[in-house]
Structure 1
Amino acid sequence: MSTDNITKEKFVLTITADSIKSTDPRFDINNLGLGDNYKALDAKFQNASGTIITRDYKKGEHRNTNQTMAKLAFQLFETQIINLPVEVKEKFPVYKENVDSELRYGIYSSVEDFNRYRKTREYMQYHYGDGKVFVIYSWNVFSTILFVQECLKRFGEQGDKFILTYREKDIKESEAETLESNVQKELDKPISEYRNPYSRKLIESKNIIFRGAPGTGKTYLARQIAADIVSDGYYDTYESLSEEQKQQIEFVQFHPSYDYSDFVEGLRPRINDGVMLFDLQDGIFKKFIAKARANYENSLKNPEVIEKETLVQEEIISFLNEVEFGVDQFKTIKGSIFYISSVDDKYIYITIPENNIVNKLSISIDEIKQMLESGQEFKQIKDITRFFGKLFATQEYFYNFPIFKAIRGSRKKNIKPTISTEKLKKYIFIIDEINRGEISKIFGELFFAIDPSYRGRLGEVTTQYSSMNSKVEKFYIPENVYIIGTMNDIDRSVDSFDFAMRRRFRFIEIKADSTTAMLDELSEDNKDSNVLDNDALKDEAMKRMDNLNKAIIGVDGLNENYQIGASYFLKLKTLTFNQLWEDYLRPLLQEYIQGLYNEDEIMTTFANAYGYNETAEGEADEAFESEG
């Protein structure tokens, strides 16, 4: 059998309680490590009567993976496995790579338990019940064969069998799988090093929304988490980050007039030589994703690819540095003269004086890069058209061609660029007041792409303005992007928050007493010893906040969502306690209880709980000063 025939053939592996057989003559039960070379295509269970049972796929589960057969075994024998004693589960046979290696055991109830047995990312999780999970070792397509056979021995009936269909991987699949595995390890590696307990929740869930009462420090907490994650647990404040680290964090606040063109992409006016043009420009989210995606994709590249791209980049820069804009002439194949007038990060702008209809064009630098990196000759325009998968040449291609030739002609021989692999980074996008925007209008088709289950190319979407690009690009959100939203529970717009979006976020309630650590800033910043000493000011703020919040939840119709958060009390850096009450807290509380029959009585209760009285301004604070 030739190698070409082998790579195209599908193989069938049949597992019973007594035997394991494959149609692939190279299969060796004593060398299950060979499974690294194969890709799963299908997995099913067949009983003695011929009835076929397949995997009941869960949300976010991708079909036909190395884990499908083991998950099917858990699905079939879930009750029996649940009822096994813990000590029996931990001694359950799972994998033996070869005759000289040890047999690996264990069905564990959490990743943490599994890691205590074996510290590795090579595991699979089977979710069942209310948030419960089974974890076993799993890596290649053959790594769960022994586990499945053991399930048949213990729980199956005579004639039951599992059938796995698989094929040999091609070279690209093997390389991609190895690289993506390394990326996933890098994403998970520092999770235990984070200082903030909410950082782990964000890493696990990809998207979270902090909800709670106003002033509970949700935005403050979001920025803390972002700093914690991008610095791998080294800093916990945004201000402490380096400028490079700050580029991994973006912040935006939604409001009713915010829309798709602000967030994703839209047409924006531009003046060029007195003429108004409309350019398609990326919004803040798409720009941010472009940075994260470039880092993600670059971290997957092998040194040879990096070297080629670096060389091309240096050639383009060198060429453009030597061009005298508006002076140096270039000619198309048909002899039309044009000049390079300017450049930016995306385009080379040219002027075509002989063309009375279209005398200005923008040439995509990315397209020039792709042509140079391909190594092709491009002798005619149709070669470019074919390269970009077009039926007909665009006008730009007639100018791409001479620029491509000019850069190739200026290439310096025997230059080997300095290359360095790019470290994978995490990128945090914070959306403050996420519920105040019209979610469906802002996100559009990105509803699908932001789903944690569809990160990466699996979640590729075509954006609304993609047809305006000469090369239609799919948009996706890479694995190294994490989204934090904040929202106030009592905001009226919460009721209309899109249910499709709710499914894509993990909601975490932040209560008024959850972020009191931010009041440490009062101790650090208070320099006025005439008010209260540093520690006393913080203690007094916490006491008043606690007393007031107890009074709030004691009112019919109010609950914890109406309590006052610690961020209000940070205003004590510049205000007195009385000023804080009169200018901030009292107006807010009056809004809360508006319409209740006993408003005055309730407000008096609140004022007393807070410690406010209507003496001359400053006297109440002086009373606390004497207590200090």
Structure 2
Amino acid sequence: MDDHGRWRRTAGDGTASHLQAKSTRARNLIMPASDDQGVQATDDTGEVLDADFEVESDGDGLALVMKSASGRSTGRPNGRNPQYNRALELLLSRLRHRDAVLVSGIVDSSSVQNLPEADRTILDESVSLADLTDIEQFRKKLSGAQHRITNSAGRNSTKQIRLRLRVPGYTASDANRLATDLSQPVTQPAGGVELPPATLDLADRLYFEQPWLEKLITLLQHRKQVVMYGPPGTGKTYVARELARHITDPGAIRLVQFHPSYTYEDFFEGFRPRLDGGTAAFDLVHGPLRRLATDAEADKGRPYVLIIDEINRANLPKVFGELYFLLEYRDEAIDLQYSPGARFKLPPNVFIIGTMNTADRSIALVDAAMRRRFAFVELHPDHPPVSGVLSRWAKTNGKGSERASLLDKLNQAIGADHEFKIGPAYLMKPDADHGLDLVWEHSILPLLEEHFYESKSRRQVHDTFSLNAIRNRQ
């Protein structure tokens, strides 16, 4: 410890390759070091990130200090800590796991230390990291404020921020311990994260049988990624969201919807343009899967769930790219196409739930690699648990039996087209309470017109499937 209560780890020659060659024991040592050395964090793949940080005592609390070198240097040819942003996001995620609160944040570079603290503030109010849902966006907010303050700094200056912290279980004398804890991956709980079993309350909310839900959770536990598929109105997205809320906290859930123009760059990471003083530049921006993985690797005792709605509407090989490998081999790490030299592993506590409307695309047309890596669960109006949902819902909510009877007759009229039966959700929406004719005319008949476009005229569709025609069907 130096005169400022600062703790640093010896970092060898400062390069990730050198550090990885050291023994684990040597890499974990915390000891006094010269001013050009700091602690470096090891991510969950075992890679030591090339970005220094320090933990200091700060009054009666602690402070996280991050340095970002600018200009050219012999140790870093590009003149920057190459993995500064990645390291800061990782540290913030690990602090969130410890329920840390950021009290304030300032720019502490030597070039601006002569300014009043109010003029170099980048965070002027307390932030509970546990309440954040997007660490990357929060980091960008801090970096943007830092850039505005230090924009006039000299070419070879070192840009430095100080984030004052309150961390439960750590006092001002625990700088050493916090630095150690932040620098190392969180230990995976023995046996991995366990998903909670299906409860009667969950079954009642979904109007599904509890044993069926227990099988679904068991499947997700062991396969890690499932796709619920079926015709429209079978409640796929609703079930996915309720299931995610049952197995984890709202802050550990993300939802994305695929579409034909969705790409790997949207889903995982890619370069995005920005304006920098009137000049166009490109930043490497993390997508929802990578942000979720970063949060999950810092919080391994909690399940993290990514819901992919309409998963079959995108070009799946293009969206997943090399990530297909990780869906099957969770214990392995791979190289990334936009982050050369970076190794990425999909944390074991990340679970993926996809939904797929088979009226848009048959499951038989799904990419074979996708089918091998996901478990597929059908939700269909003719089969449990969906076949009994409308009757149970109507009985519980005092809606009578007509809706379930009409849906059965409608699907009988549709006939042998398994993929285009109509699910119960259409008759469970609030507009159905104002008249079933509204649902029939504006939701159900347009679907059927589209489906039978090549075989029936609009008049024939209405004559066959109108509400009155279905009511009078024997």
TM-score (norm 2): 0.52
Q: Which of 435, 446, 459 in structure 1 is aligned with 2:323?
A: 446
> Is residue 377 of structure 2 the alignment partner of residue 511 of structure 1?
no
> Is residue 330 of structure 2 the alignment partner of residue 455 of structure 1?
yes
Unmatched tracts of structure 2, length 5 or more: 1-183, 203-212
Displacement after TM superposition at 1:216 (Å): 0.8
Distance 1:544 1:288 in 2: 43
Residues 480, 291 of structure 1: alpha-carbon distance in 2 compared, 3 angstrom cutoff: same
Aligned position for 1:480: 349
Distance 1:229 1:480 in 2: 11
Displacement after TM superposition at 1:497 (Å): 2.2
> Is residue 183 of structure 2 the alignment partner of residue 204 of structure 1?
no
> Deviation digits for residues 50-71 of structure 1, max 9, x if unmatched?
xxxxxxxxxxxxxxxxxxxxxx
Q: Residue type of the partner of 2:412?
A: K
Q: Residue type of the partner of 1:548?
A: L
Distance 2:390 2:296 in 1: 30
Aligned position for 2:337: 464
Q: Residue type of the partner of 1:260?
A: Y
Distance 1:612 1:581 in 2: 15
User: What is the SS of the residue equivalent to 2:429?
Assistant: helix
Displacement after TM superposition at 1:492 (Å): 3.7
> Is residue 460 of structure 2 the alignment partner of residue 565 of structure 1?
no
Task: Tell me if the contact between 1:251 and 1:431 (Cα under 8 Å) persists in the aligned partners.
Answer: yes
Task: Tell me if the contact between 2:252 and 2:305 (Cα under 8 Å) persists in the aligned partners.
Answer: yes
Task: Tell me if the contact between 2:224 and 2:352 (Cα under 8 Å) persists in the aligned partners.
Answer: yes
Distance 1:282 1:219 in 2: 25
Task: Write out aligned runs for 1:301-380 (5 A).
Answer: none
User: What is the SS of the residue equivalent to 1:479?
Assistant: coil
Aligned position for 1:286: 290
Distance 1:594 1:586 in 2: 12
Unmatched tracts of structure 1, length 5 or more: 1-175, 231-244, 297-423, 525-533, 614-628
Distance 1:189 1:253 in 2: 24
Aligned position for 1:610: 470
Displacement after TM superposition at 1:606 (Å): 2.7
Distance 2:456 2:390 in 1: 36
Q: Residue type of the partner of 2:234?
A: T
Displacement after TM superposition at 1:268 (Å): 1.3
> Is residue 253 of structure 2 the alignment partner of residue 249 of structure 1?
yes
> Deviation digits for residues 464-519 of structure 1, max 9, x if unmatched?
1112xxxx321111111111111112214755421111110111110125345478
Distance 1:273 1:536 in 2: 62
User: What is the SS of the residue equivalent to 1:295?
Assistant: coil
Distance 1:598 1:229 in 2: 47
Task: Write out aligned runs for 1:74-223 (5 A).
Answer: 180=188, 182-184=189-191, 187-188=193-194, 190-191=196-197, 195=202, 196-197=213-214, 198-223=216-241
Aligned position for 2:414: 552
Distance 1:427 1:549 in 2: 37
Distance 2:243 2:263 in 1: 27
Q: Which moved more, 1:245-254 or 1:275-284?
A: 275-284
Aligned position for 2:48: none
Distance 1:263 1:519 in 2: 39
Task: Tell me if the contact between 1:519 and 1:570 (Cα under 8 Å) persists in the aligned partners.
Answer: no
Q: Residue type of the partner of 1:474?
A: R
Q: Which of 436, 443, 454 in structure 2 is aligned with 1:577?
A: 436
Distance 1:271 1:519 in 2: 57
User: What is the SS of the residue equivalent to 2:343?
Assistant: coil
Residues 573, 601 of structure 1: alpha-carbon distance in 2 compared, 3 angstrom cutoff: closer
Distance 2:195 2:287 in 1: 31
Aligned position for 1:166: none
Displacement after TM superposition at 1:601 (Å): 5.4
Distance 2:448 2:379 in 1: 19
Distance 1:461 1:506 in 2: 23
> Deviation digits for residues 431-462 of structure 1, max 9, x if unmatched?
111110011111111010112xx113x2x111
Task: Tell me if the contact between 2:304 and 2:350 (Cα under 8 Å) persists in the aligned partners.
Answer: yes
Q: Between Structure 1 and Structure 2, how many residues are aligned?
A: 272
Distance 1:576 1:208 in 2: 36
User: What is the SS of the residue equivalent to 1:507?
Assistant: strand
User: What is the SS of the residue equivalent to 1:536?
Assistant: coil
Distance 1:573 1:579 in 2: 7
Task: Tell me if the contact between 2:390 and 2:404 (Cα under 8 Å) persists in the aligned partners.
Answer: no
> Deviation digits for residues 147-200 of structure 1, max 9, x if unmatched?
xxxxxxxxxxxxxxxxxxxxxxxxxxxxx9xx65x432x523744768433222
Distance 2:462 2:455 in 1: 11
> Deviation digits for residues 259-305 of structure 1, max 9, x if unmatched?
11110101112233343321111111111111111212xxxxxxxxx
TM-score (norm 1): 0.40
Residues 193, 492 of structure 1: alpha-carbon distance in 2 compared, 3 angstrom cutoff: closer
Task: Tell me if the contact between 1:519 and 1:566 (Cα under 8 Å) persists in the aligned partners.
Answer: no
**RMSD, aligned CA:** 3.0
Larger radius of gyration: 1
Distance 1:496 1:549 in 2: 24
Q: Which of 305, 317, 327 in structure 2 is aligned with 1:428?
A: 305
User: What is the SS of the residue equivalent to 2:298?
Assistant: helix
Residues 274, 588 of structure 1: alpha-carbon distance in 2 compared, 3 angstrom cutoff: same
Task: Tell me if the contact between 1:264 and 1:283 (Cα under 8 Å) persists in the aligned partners.
Answer: yes
User: What is the SS of the residue equivalent to 2:193?
Assistant: helix
Task: Tell me if the contact between 2:195 and 2:221 (Cα under 8 Å) persists in the aligned partners.
Answer: no
Aligned position for 1:499: 368
Task: Tell me if the contact between 1:211 and 1:218 (Cα under 8 Å) persists in the aligned partners.
Answer: yes
User: What is the SS of the residue equivalent to 1:550?
Assistant: helix
Distance 2:456 2:286 in 1: 52
User: What is the SS of the residue equivalent to 2:273?
Assistant: strand
Residues 595, 441 of structure 1: alpha-carbon distance in 2 compared, 3 angstrom cutoff: same
Residues 455, 248 of structure 1: alpha-carbon distance in 2 compared, 3 angstrom cutoff: same
Aligned position for 1:346: none
